Every structure is written in structure tokens, then in C-alpha cells.
Amino acid sequence: MLGQDVRSAAQDAGHEPIALARAELDITDEAVVRAAIDAARPDAVINCAAWTNVDAAETEERAATAVNGDGAGHVARAAAACGAWTVHVSSDYVFDGRARAPYLESSPTGPASAYGRSKLAGEHAVAAAAPHAHTIVRTSWLFGAGGPCFPATIRRLAGERDQIKVVDDQVGCPTFTGHLARALIELAETRPPGIVHVAGGGACSWYEFAREIVAASALACEVTPCTTEEFPRPAPRPAYSVLGTERGHEVPRLAGWREGLSDYLAVGVTSA
């Protein structure tokens, strides 16, 4: 989902992207990663590969960490070896979700799930593999036209039912991959070192997000709030994962999440 938009954003910015799908490059195989990056000789590498099944990671943490942790290190190490800058995509799940003010880059981490631990392992691996040539981008609640996502699910359910329930006690920053992709290209060009937070502007609950999706799609479905306890999942979800930044003008600011939804609907109706 994100990778497709990054490829398009790179082309739009005048670059010549080499975009490798999972079937073409297994990032858990360090030798294969090294050979692929050495052959490409890129100026920058944007790692969009990830294990994204949060619930499955609870029982398959080793496999999730092989991708999100070790694999991230393989990519950064190979990039550094050929003089390329690494832009690595991380997650709000590296935090425990107990805050009540936006998490900043310097906020203490403390993942509550296997997925979150695997993503934090990736941050450490990237920093160790390319200590002077990386930007780690924490983002949250991604949605886009290139794959399954929350708006697509809500639109489908709202088209099938008269009423749906959505949790209202989890708050975050919905982020449109089309917007994030352009920011990742900018970061690959400007190369601010270390960790940056880049997410859709504003914050909302999943319930508020769902209501906006249904209204914007003109669907006749009632959206009602419920608690996380009413819909238990294998992996704990952060109750609050709003991301802020203390990095100033070196960090791109994304449009608000409502604008992101509008742009998603403009391009994503068919795929949804």
C-alpha cells in the first residue's frame, strides 16, 4: 500500500525509483538484500517492507521481528555500505499508549505488543547499521488505495449493514499514504538524521474516523461507539497514539486527516 504510493511520489518528484515487491526481495535474507542494493547503487533507500499483521505477531513474534527488526537492519546496513541514505518507516506502536499529550521524538518508548516490540527492534537495528545515514519515520494509522485499510473496511461494512459499532476509546492520527509518500521522498532528499514523527494532522478516535468515512461516502448506516473491551483483540492497542514533533521545519507537516480521507476517496473508491 505505502510502497506503491512512494514509487509514484518518487516518479512525480523526478527520481528514477527501483521498486521491489516482496516476491522480488526478501529482506530477511541479508545476502540477497546486499546484492540487490549493491546492484542498484541507489542514492537513498526507503524501506516500506513490514510485517503489518498486529494480531498475528502475538503468536509469531519471531517471524514479525525477522522482518520488522532484523530485516530493517539488513536494508540499512546494505544501504550504508554503498553510501546510500536509509529512510525507515516505523510506528506509533513503539509507545505504550498511556500518554495524554502527543508523543514527541524524545518521548520514552515502551511497546505493549509483539508488533510494537518488533518495530522498536527495527529502529534500533537501523540506528546501529547506519548510525550516520538514516532517518527513522514514525507514523500511524495508515490508509491508502493500494491495499486493505480501515476506510475500505468501513465502507464495505456500511454498505452491507444498517448499523456498525466502532471503538471510541482509541485515539490517533489517521495518515493517508499518498500524503506520507511525498513526505518520505522529501526526507530522502533533505536527510534529517535520527527519528522524526510524520502523521496526518489532527487526531480522532476510530469511531470519529468511521463516522466521517460513512458521511463522506453518503452511506445510510448508523455508526455507534463502543469500548475496546467490547471488541477484544489478541494484541493490545494503544489507547492514545497521537504523534507530535519537536524537530521544527526539518520535518514535513502533513495535511489534516480529513483532507487525507477526501484525497483517498478521490482515488481509492475503485480499489476499496
Assign 225 to helix, strand or coil.
strand
pLDDT in tens, 8-20: 999 999 999 999 9
Q: What is the mean pLDDT of residues 208-236?
A: 96
Distance CA 37, CA 198 (A): 26
Model confidence band, residue 208 (pLDDT cutoffs 50, 70, 90):
very high
Residue ranges of domains in the chain: 2-268
Distance CA 243, CA 216 (A): 25
Q: What is the mean pLDDT of residues 63-72?
A: 98
Q: What is the mean pLDDT of residues 151-174?
A: 97
Q: What is the mean pLDDT of residues 100-117?
A: 98
Give the pLDDT score at 269: 61
Average per-residue pLDDT in the chain?
96
The yes-or-no verdict on residue 271 having pLDDT over 80 is no
Q: What crossing angle do the helices spanning 177-190 and 2-12 adopt, rounded to 10°?
A: 60
- Cell 540487490, residue located: 36
Model confidence band, residue 268 (pLDDT cutoffs 50, 70, 90):
low
Instruction: Give catalytic residue positions.
Output: 115
pLDDT in tens, 190-205: 999 999 999 999 999 9
Give the pLDDT score at 270: 47
Give the pLDDT score at 272: 41
Q: Are 43 and 221 in contact (CB under 8 A)?
A: no
Domain at 2-268, CATH from 2.40.50.140, 3.40.630.10, 3.40.50.720, 3.10.105.10:
3.40.50.720
Question: Which DSSP state fits 231?
Answer: S
Distance CA 269, CA 137 (A): 28
